[in-house]
Amino acid sequence: MSNRFTRQITLDGENVTYILEYKSIKNVNIHCTPAKGLYISAPFHADLQKIDTYLKDNSERILDAVHKANSSSKRVGKHRSEQRSLTIGGRAVAYELNYKDVKRINLLISGDKGVRVSAPPSVKVGEIESFMLKNSAFIIRALDKYERLSQDMPTVKTYSDGEYIYFLGKPLTIRLFPSSRSYAEIRGDELHIHAADISNTCLKGSIVDAFLKSRCEETIPQMCRALYPRFEAKGIAYPKELRFRKMVSCWGNCRPSRSILTFSTHLIQLPEKCIEQVICHEFTHFIHANHSKAFYAQLAEFMPEWKKYDALTKQMQHEIIIRNSGGSSAADAN
Protein backbone atom coordinates (compact mmCIF):
# COMPACT_ATOMS: atom_id res chain seq x y z
CA MET A 1 0.00 0.00 0.00
CA SER A 2 1.26 3.46 -0.86
CA ASN A 3 2.12 6.36 1.41
CA ARG A 4 0.18 8.64 -0.97
CA PHE A 5 -3.44 9.59 -0.25
CA THR A 6 -6.17 11.88 -1.57
CA ARG A 7 -7.83 13.95 1.18
CA GLN A 8 -10.21 16.87 1.61
CA ILE A 9 -10.18 19.90 3.88
CA THR A 10 -12.40 22.96 4.35
CA LEU A 11 -10.44 26.22 4.11
CA ASP A 12 -12.35 29.43 4.82
CA GLY A 13 -15.61 27.68 3.95
CA GLU A 14 -14.29 26.22 0.66
CA ASN A 15 -13.84 22.46 0.16
CA VAL A 16 -10.38 21.71 -1.18
CA THR A 17 -9.13 18.33 -2.39
CA TYR A 18 -5.42 17.64 -2.08
CA ILE A 19 -2.90 14.83 -2.41
CA LEU A 20 -0.87 13.99 0.70
CA GLU A 21 2.35 12.05 0.33
CA TYR A 22 4.66 10.96 3.15
CA LYS A 23 8.37 11.24 2.37
CA SER A 24 11.78 11.21 4.06
CA ILE A 25 11.78 14.97 4.63
CA LYS A 26 11.89 17.22 7.69
CA ASN A 27 9.04 19.67 7.10
CA VAL A 28 5.55 19.87 5.58
CA ASN A 29 5.70 21.35 2.07
CA ILE A 30 2.89 22.81 -0.05
CA HIS A 31 2.84 22.58 -3.85
CA CYS A 32 0.16 23.63 -6.31
CA THR A 33 0.27 23.29 -10.11
CA PRO A 34 -2.33 23.55 -12.88
CA ALA A 35 -1.69 19.93 -13.88
CA LYS A 36 -1.74 18.23 -10.48
CA GLY A 37 -3.60 20.65 -8.24
CA LEU A 38 -2.78 20.93 -4.53
CA TYR A 39 -0.09 18.54 -3.34
CA ILE A 40 1.27 18.26 0.21
CA SER A 41 4.45 16.38 1.14
CA ALA A 42 5.09 15.60 4.78
CA PRO A 43 7.52 13.63 7.01
CA PHE A 44 6.54 10.05 7.83
CA HIS A 45 5.97 10.93 11.48
CA ALA A 46 3.73 13.96 10.78
CA ASP A 47 0.32 13.82 12.48
CA LEU A 48 -2.74 14.32 10.22
CA GLN A 49 -4.33 16.77 12.65
CA LYS A 50 -1.15 18.87 12.72
CA ILE A 51 -0.98 18.82 8.93
CA ASP A 52 -4.58 20.06 8.66
CA THR A 53 -3.88 22.75 11.26
CA TYR A 54 -0.86 23.86 9.24
CA LEU A 55 -2.98 24.03 6.08
CA LYS A 56 -5.68 26.08 7.82
CA ASP A 57 -3.05 28.48 9.16
CA ASN A 58 -1.95 29.02 5.56
CA SER A 59 -5.46 28.94 4.06
CA GLU A 60 -5.26 32.34 2.36
CA ARG A 61 -2.02 31.49 0.56
CA ILE A 62 -3.27 28.02 -0.37
CA LEU A 63 -6.62 29.19 -1.74
CA ASP A 64 -4.90 31.88 -3.78
CA ALA A 65 -2.57 29.25 -5.28
CA VAL A 66 -5.46 26.84 -5.94
CA HIS A 67 -7.54 29.53 -7.71
CA LYS A 68 -4.58 30.56 -9.85
CA ALA A 69 -3.85 26.93 -10.73
CA ASN A 70 -7.49 26.29 -11.67
CA SER A 71 -7.55 29.40 -13.80
CA SER A 72 -4.31 28.40 -15.52
CA SER A 73 -5.53 24.87 -16.16
CA LYS A 74 -8.41 26.24 -18.21
CA ARG A 75 -5.95 28.10 -20.41
CA VAL A 76 -3.53 25.19 -20.79
CA GLY A 77 -5.71 23.51 -23.41
CA LYS A 78 -7.27 20.12 -23.74
CA HIS A 79 -4.67 18.22 -21.68
CA ARG A 80 -5.27 19.02 -18.03
CA SER A 81 -5.99 17.45 -14.66
CA GLU A 82 -8.41 18.43 -11.93
CA GLN A 83 -9.00 17.26 -8.37
CA ARG A 84 -12.75 16.88 -7.83
CA SER A 85 -15.23 15.23 -5.46
CA LEU A 86 -18.54 13.42 -6.00
CA THR A 87 -21.03 12.02 -3.48
CA ILE A 88 -21.51 8.30 -4.16
CA GLY A 89 -23.71 6.20 -1.88
CA GLY A 90 -23.69 8.92 0.75
CA ARG A 91 -19.89 9.05 0.72
CA ALA A 92 -17.76 11.95 -0.56
CA VAL A 93 -15.39 10.38 -3.08
CA ALA A 94 -12.39 12.41 -4.19
CA TYR A 95 -11.18 11.69 -7.71
CA GLU A 96 -8.64 12.91 -10.21
CA LEU A 97 -10.07 13.92 -13.58
CA ASN A 98 -7.64 13.84 -16.51
CA TYR A 99 -8.58 15.24 -19.91
CA LYS A 100 -6.51 13.57 -22.58
CA ASP A 101 -6.58 12.04 -26.06
CA VAL A 102 -8.82 9.05 -25.34
CA LYS A 103 -11.94 7.87 -27.15
CA ARG A 104 -14.14 7.20 -24.13
CA ILE A 105 -14.42 7.75 -20.40
CA ASN A 106 -12.10 5.44 -18.46
CA LEU A 107 -12.23 4.66 -14.75
CA LEU A 108 -9.23 3.41 -12.76
CA ILE A 109 -9.04 2.77 -9.00
CA SER A 110 -5.87 1.80 -7.14
CA GLY A 111 -4.71 1.66 -3.56
CA ASP A 112 -2.00 4.28 -3.98
CA LYS A 113 -3.62 6.84 -6.29
CA GLY A 114 -7.31 6.45 -5.43
CA VAL A 115 -10.00 7.10 -8.04
CA ARG A 116 -8.83 8.41 -11.41
CA VAL A 117 -10.95 9.19 -14.46
CA SER A 118 -9.70 9.98 -17.96
CA ALA A 119 -11.98 11.48 -20.57
CA PRO A 120 -11.89 13.20 -23.97
CA PRO A 121 -11.56 17.02 -23.68
CA SER A 122 -15.03 17.51 -25.21
CA VAL A 123 -16.86 15.55 -22.50
CA LYS A 124 -18.54 17.66 -19.82
CA VAL A 125 -18.15 17.05 -16.10
CA GLY A 126 -21.86 16.18 -15.74
CA GLU A 127 -21.52 13.36 -18.24
CA ILE A 128 -18.40 12.09 -16.51
CA GLU A 129 -20.05 12.06 -13.11
CA SER A 130 -23.15 10.34 -14.50
CA PHE A 131 -20.82 7.63 -15.77
CA MET A 132 -19.28 7.35 -12.30
CA LEU A 133 -22.70 7.09 -10.63
CA LYS A 134 -23.66 4.28 -13.01
CA ASN A 135 -20.55 2.48 -11.79
CA SER A 136 -21.05 3.42 -8.14
CA ALA A 137 -21.23 -0.19 -6.91
CA PHE A 138 -17.87 -0.98 -8.51
CA ILE A 139 -16.29 2.18 -7.07
CA ILE A 140 -17.53 1.55 -3.53
CA ARG A 141 -16.42 -2.10 -3.62
CA ALA A 142 -12.95 -1.10 -4.76
CA LEU A 143 -12.59 1.66 -2.17
CA ASP A 144 -13.78 -0.66 0.61
CA LYS A 145 -11.31 -3.31 -0.52
CA TYR A 146 -8.33 -0.92 -0.43
CA GLU A 147 -9.47 0.47 2.91
CA ARG A 148 -9.48 -3.06 4.37
CA LEU A 149 -6.04 -3.69 2.94
CA SER A 150 -4.69 -0.44 4.39
CA GLN A 151 -5.95 -1.43 7.84
CA ASP A 152 -4.06 -4.72 7.59
CA MET A 153 -0.82 -3.05 6.54
CA PRO A 154 1.93 -2.51 9.12
CA THR A 155 2.50 1.12 10.07
CA VAL A 156 5.65 2.85 8.89
CA LYS A 157 8.50 2.37 11.35
CA THR A 158 9.68 5.46 13.26
CA TYR A 159 12.59 3.60 14.92
CA SER A 160 11.27 4.38 18.39
CA ASP A 161 12.51 2.67 21.52
CA GLY A 162 10.82 -0.73 21.83
CA GLU A 163 10.09 -1.17 18.10
CA TYR A 164 11.89 -3.94 16.27
CA ILE A 165 13.75 -4.68 13.08
CA TYR A 166 14.61 -8.04 11.55
CA PHE A 167 18.15 -9.35 11.16
CA LEU A 168 18.60 -12.73 9.44
CA GLY A 169 14.94 -13.45 10.14
CA LYS A 170 15.04 -12.70 13.87
CA PRO A 171 13.45 -9.59 15.41
CA LEU A 172 15.80 -7.22 17.23
CA THR A 173 14.25 -4.78 19.72
CA ILE A 174 15.35 -1.20 19.07
CA ARG A 175 16.99 0.70 21.92
CA LEU A 176 17.99 4.36 21.59
CA PHE A 177 21.07 6.01 23.08
CA PRO A 178 22.00 9.73 22.80
CA SER A 179 25.50 9.96 21.35
CA SER A 180 27.78 12.39 19.52
CA ARG A 181 28.58 9.59 17.05
CA SER A 182 25.89 8.02 14.87
CA TYR A 183 25.94 4.23 14.50
CA ALA A 184 23.99 1.04 15.21
CA GLU A 185 25.13 -2.24 16.74
CA ILE A 186 23.63 -5.58 17.74
CA ARG A 187 23.69 -6.39 21.43
CA GLY A 188 22.08 -9.74 22.15
CA ASP A 189 18.45 -9.53 20.96
CA GLU A 190 18.59 -5.74 20.64
CA LEU A 191 19.65 -3.22 18.02
CA HIS A 192 21.24 -0.24 19.75
CA ILE A 193 20.91 2.98 17.77
CA HIS A 194 23.26 5.78 18.82
CA ALA A 195 22.38 9.25 17.54
CA ALA A 196 22.76 12.91 18.47
CA ASP A 197 19.01 13.43 18.12
CA ILE A 198 17.12 10.25 19.01
CA SER A 199 13.80 11.93 18.13
CA ASN A 200 14.81 12.49 14.49
CA THR A 201 13.16 9.70 12.47
CA CYS A 202 15.09 10.49 9.27
CA LEU A 203 18.41 10.41 11.12
CA LYS A 204 17.60 7.09 12.79
CA GLY A 205 16.46 5.70 9.45
CA SER A 206 19.74 6.67 7.79
CA ILE A 207 21.70 5.02 10.63
CA VAL A 208 19.72 1.79 10.19
CA ASP A 209 20.21 1.94 6.40
CA ALA A 210 23.98 2.24 6.87
CA PHE A 211 23.94 -0.66 9.34
CA LEU A 212 21.98 -2.91 6.95
CA LYS A 213 24.28 -2.09 4.04
CA SER A 214 27.45 -2.82 6.03
CA ARG A 215 26.06 -6.17 7.20
CA CYS A 216 25.02 -7.04 3.62
CA GLU A 217 28.52 -6.27 2.39
CA GLU A 218 29.92 -8.62 5.07
CA THR A 219 27.43 -11.48 4.78
CA ILE A 220 26.04 -11.75 1.23
CA PRO A 221 29.40 -12.22 -0.57
CA GLN A 222 30.23 -15.09 1.83
CA MET A 223 26.89 -16.73 1.04
CA CYS A 224 27.42 -16.24 -2.70
CA ARG A 225 30.83 -17.93 -2.48
CA ALA A 226 29.38 -20.81 -0.47
CA LEU A 227 26.61 -21.39 -3.04
CA TYR A 228 28.79 -20.79 -6.10
CA PRO A 229 29.83 -24.46 -6.73
CA ARG A 230 26.20 -25.16 -7.72
CA PHE A 231 26.44 -22.57 -10.51
CA GLU A 232 30.05 -23.21 -11.45
CA ALA A 233 29.04 -26.73 -12.44
CA LYS A 234 26.79 -25.14 -15.10
CA GLY A 235 29.63 -23.02 -16.46
CA ILE A 236 28.52 -19.78 -14.79
CA ALA A 237 31.44 -17.46 -14.05
CA TYR A 238 31.50 -15.79 -10.65
CA PRO A 239 30.11 -12.20 -10.95
CA LYS A 240 32.67 -9.49 -11.61
CA GLU A 241 30.91 -7.27 -9.12
CA LEU A 242 28.39 -7.50 -6.27
CA ARG A 243 26.56 -4.30 -5.47
CA PHE A 244 24.32 -3.35 -2.55
CA ARG A 245 21.80 -0.54 -2.43
CA LYS A 246 18.48 0.28 -0.82
CA MET A 247 15.70 -1.01 -3.08
CA VAL A 248 11.97 -1.24 -2.37
CA SER A 249 10.74 -2.83 -5.59
CA CYS A 250 12.93 -5.94 -5.70
CA TRP A 251 15.29 -8.04 -3.62
CA GLY A 252 17.94 -8.16 -6.30
CA ASN A 253 18.70 -7.90 -9.98
CA CYS A 254 21.12 -9.42 -12.45
CA ARG A 255 22.91 -7.79 -15.39
CA PRO A 256 24.32 -10.78 -17.29
CA SER A 257 26.01 -8.69 -20.00
CA ARG A 258 28.10 -6.87 -17.36
CA SER A 259 28.38 -9.78 -14.90
CA ILE A 260 26.92 -7.70 -12.07
CA LEU A 261 24.56 -8.77 -9.29
CA THR A 262 22.85 -6.08 -7.20
CA PHE A 263 21.12 -6.90 -3.92
CA SER A 264 18.75 -4.88 -1.78
CA THR A 265 20.19 -3.89 1.59
CA HIS A 266 16.86 -5.06 3.08
CA LEU A 267 17.87 -8.61 2.11
CA ILE A 268 19.90 -9.07 5.31
CA GLN A 269 16.65 -8.94 7.29
CA LEU A 270 15.38 -12.20 5.77
CA PRO A 271 16.12 -15.68 7.15
CA GLU A 272 19.27 -17.22 5.67
CA LYS A 273 17.36 -19.77 3.55
CA CYS A 274 15.30 -16.95 2.04
CA ILE A 275 18.49 -15.06 1.23
CA GLU A 276 19.86 -18.20 -0.42
CA GLN A 277 16.70 -18.42 -2.51
CA VAL A 278 17.19 -14.84 -3.75
CA ILE A 279 20.88 -15.49 -4.51
CA CYS A 280 20.00 -18.65 -6.48
CA HIS A 281 17.27 -16.71 -8.31
CA GLU A 282 19.71 -14.02 -9.43
CA PHE A 283 22.47 -16.47 -10.42
CA THR A 284 19.91 -18.36 -12.53
CA HIS A 285 19.46 -15.20 -14.61
CA PHE A 286 22.99 -15.72 -15.94
CA ILE A 287 21.46 -18.68 -17.83
CA HIS A 288 17.92 -17.40 -18.45
CA ALA A 289 17.44 -13.62 -18.49
CA ASN A 290 13.62 -13.87 -18.27
CA HIS A 291 11.15 -15.67 -16.00
CA SER A 292 10.25 -18.46 -18.42
CA LYS A 293 9.38 -22.04 -17.53
CA ALA A 294 12.98 -22.93 -18.37
CA PHE A 295 14.15 -20.35 -15.81
CA TYR A 296 12.09 -21.84 -12.98
CA ALA A 297 13.06 -25.38 -13.96
CA GLN A 298 16.73 -24.37 -13.71
CA LEU A 299 16.13 -22.58 -10.40
CA ALA A 300 14.51 -25.75 -9.01
CA GLU A 301 17.65 -27.68 -9.99
CA PHE A 302 19.84 -25.19 -8.10
CA MET A 303 17.49 -25.07 -5.08
CA PRO A 304 14.68 -27.67 -5.09
CA GLU A 305 12.88 -26.06 -2.11
CA TRP A 306 12.93 -22.53 -3.57
CA LYS A 307 9.11 -22.21 -3.60
CA LYS A 308 8.91 -22.77 0.16
CA TYR A 309 11.35 -19.95 0.91
CA ASP A 310 9.96 -17.69 -1.80
CA ALA A 311 6.56 -17.96 -0.06
CA LEU A 312 8.13 -17.08 3.30
CA THR A 313 9.92 -14.12 1.71
CA LYS A 314 6.64 -12.81 0.35
CA GLN A 315 5.01 -13.18 3.77
CA MET A 316 7.69 -10.96 5.28
CA GLN A 317 8.03 -8.43 2.48
CA HIS A 318 5.45 -5.87 3.70
CA GLU A 319 6.81 -6.01 7.25
CA ILE A 320 10.38 -5.47 6.07
CA ILE A 321 10.00 -3.15 3.09
CA ILE A 322 7.12 -0.92 4.20
CA ARG A 323 7.77 -0.66 7.92
CA ASN A 324 11.49 -0.08 7.51
CA SER A 325 11.41 2.32 4.58
CA GLY A 326 7.97 3.76 4.16
CA GLY A 327 8.03 2.24 0.81
CA SER A 328 4.97 1.16 -1.14
CA SER A 329 6.09 -1.61 -3.34
CA ALA A 330 5.94 -5.33 -2.70
CA ALA A 331 9.42 -6.74 -3.06
CA ASP A 332 10.25 -9.76 -5.14
CA ALA A 333 13.31 -11.31 -6.72
CA ASN A 334 13.79 -9.76 -10.12
275-296 tens-digit pLDDT:
999 999 999 999 998 888 999 9
Q: What is the mean pLDDT of residues 146-174?
A: 78
Q: What is the mean pLDDT of residues 184-205?
A: 90
Q: What pLDDT does 28 receive? A: 86
Q: What is the mean pLDDT of residues 227-253?
A: 90
> Closest Cα to residue 165, out of 181, 186, 195, 196?
186
- DSSP-derived secondary structure for 24-41: S-SS-EEEEETTTEEEEE
Select, from the ranges 27-36, 52-61, 158-167, 186-195, the one with the highest average predicted confidence (pLDDT): 186-195
Q: What is the mean pLDDT of residues 164-185?
A: 92
Q: What pLDDT does 331 receive? A: 41
Q: What is the mean pLDDT of residues 26-51?
A: 81
Q: How far apart are CA 306 and CA 74, in angstroms?
A: 55
- Is 261 in contact with 278 (CB distance < 8 Å)? no
- pLDDT mean across residues, the chain: 84
Residue 51 has pLDDT above 90, yes or no: no
Q: What pLDDT does 329 receive? A: 36
- Is 326 in contact with 22 (CB distance < 8 Å)? yes
99 three-state secondary structure = strand
Residues 6+ apart with CB under 8 A from 36: 19, 81
Q: What pLDDT does 322 receive? A: 52
Select, from the ranges 156-165, 223-232, 240-249, the one with the highest average predicted confidence (pLDDT): 223-232
Q: Is 209 left (phi over 0), alpha (psi -120 to 50) or beta?
A: alpha
Indicate the pLDDT class of residue 80, thresholds 50, 70 and 90. Answer: confident
Indicate the pLDDT class of residue 325, thresholds 50, 70 and 90. Answer: very low
Q: How confident is the model over 103-151, as pLDDT tens digits? A: 899 998 876 678 999 999 889 999 999 999 999 999 999 888 877 765 5
Q: How far apart are CA 263 and CA 278, in angstroms?
A: 9
Q: Cα dihedral angle (260, 252, 202, 271), rounded to 10 degrees?
A: -120
Q: How far apart are CA 120 and CA 104, in angstroms?
A: 6
Lowest mean pLDDT segment, chosen from 38-47, 65-74, 183-192, 257-266: 65-74
Residue 56 has pLDDT above 80, yes or no: yes
Please give the angle made by the CA atoms of 227, 228 and 232, to the nearest 5 degrees. Answer: 140
Alpha-carbon distance values, 44 to 25, 37, 174, 210, 228 (Å): 8, 22, 18, 19, 40
